[in-house]
Amino acid sequence: MGVGLGADPEGWETALGATCLDVPGGGVLRRDYGLVEINFSPDQPGRQGRMSCFGFGVKIQRLLYDQSPNTVPSPLSREYGEFAPRVPFKDLQAAILALGHTIERDKQNTSSDMDCYRVSASAARIHVVADPDPYGSGDPDPDGHQRGDIWSVDVW
C-alpha cells in the first residue's frame, strides 16, 4: 500500500481512506481503521515535531465477526480481495520461512493464552491463540477463535 513505519498520518489516510477513529492521548495518536491500527508520535528520530508512524498492527482477530467495510477498509479489499475470517499461524509461518526468514518464540511476550513469535530481520511480532478459553468458562466455541489462529501481527 506504500506506507509503513515513518509515514505521516496523511500518507496512511491516502492509502487506507479517511474513515477511521482517531484516539489521541499521552502525546501520541492511535488511528483505528478496524483491521489496521497505526500509532503516531511527534518524537521519532529525524522527524521531531511531525507526527510519524512508530508502529502498526493488523488485528486479524476482528475478521472473525466482521469483514464489512467497517472493519476492512475498502482500499484493502480492492487490493487484496476478500479476507478470510481466520488465518492459521502454520500458513503464515510457511510463507515467512519460504522467504528465507526464521521465526522464534518470544518468551518474554508469551502468556498462557497467547503465544508471541518474532520474525527475523524485521520488527514484526505475530500473536497466536494458545488457549481459546483461558478463563475456563466452558468448551471452546467451534465458531470462535481456535488454538493456532493468528490474533494479530504487529510491527514496532
The whole-number pLDDT of residue 6 equals 93
Alpha-carbon distance of 67 to 59, in angstroms, equals 12
The pLDDT value recorded for residue 63 is 97
Question: Which amino acid is present at 34?
Answer: G
Per-residue model confidence (pLDDT) at position 110: 86
Question: Which sequence spans correspond to the domains of the chain?
Answer: 1-84, 86-156
Q: What is the DSSP letter of 148?
A: T
Backbone φ/ψ region at 54: left (φ over 0), alpha (ψ -120 to 50), beta: alpha
Global pTM reads 0.90
Query: Is 29 within 8 Å of 20 (Cβ atoms)?
Result: no
Alpha helix positions (H), 17-142: 74-80, 89-98
Strand partners, 149: 88
The rounded mean pLDDT for the chain is 93
Q: Return all residues near 100 (Cβ < 8 A) that are at least 6 apart.
A: none
How many beta carbons lie within 10 A of that of residue 79, not counting itself?
Answer: 10
pLDDT digits (tens, 9 = 90+) for 85-111: 999 999 999 999 999 999 999 999 888
Low-confidence ranges of the chain (pLDDT < 70): 134, 140
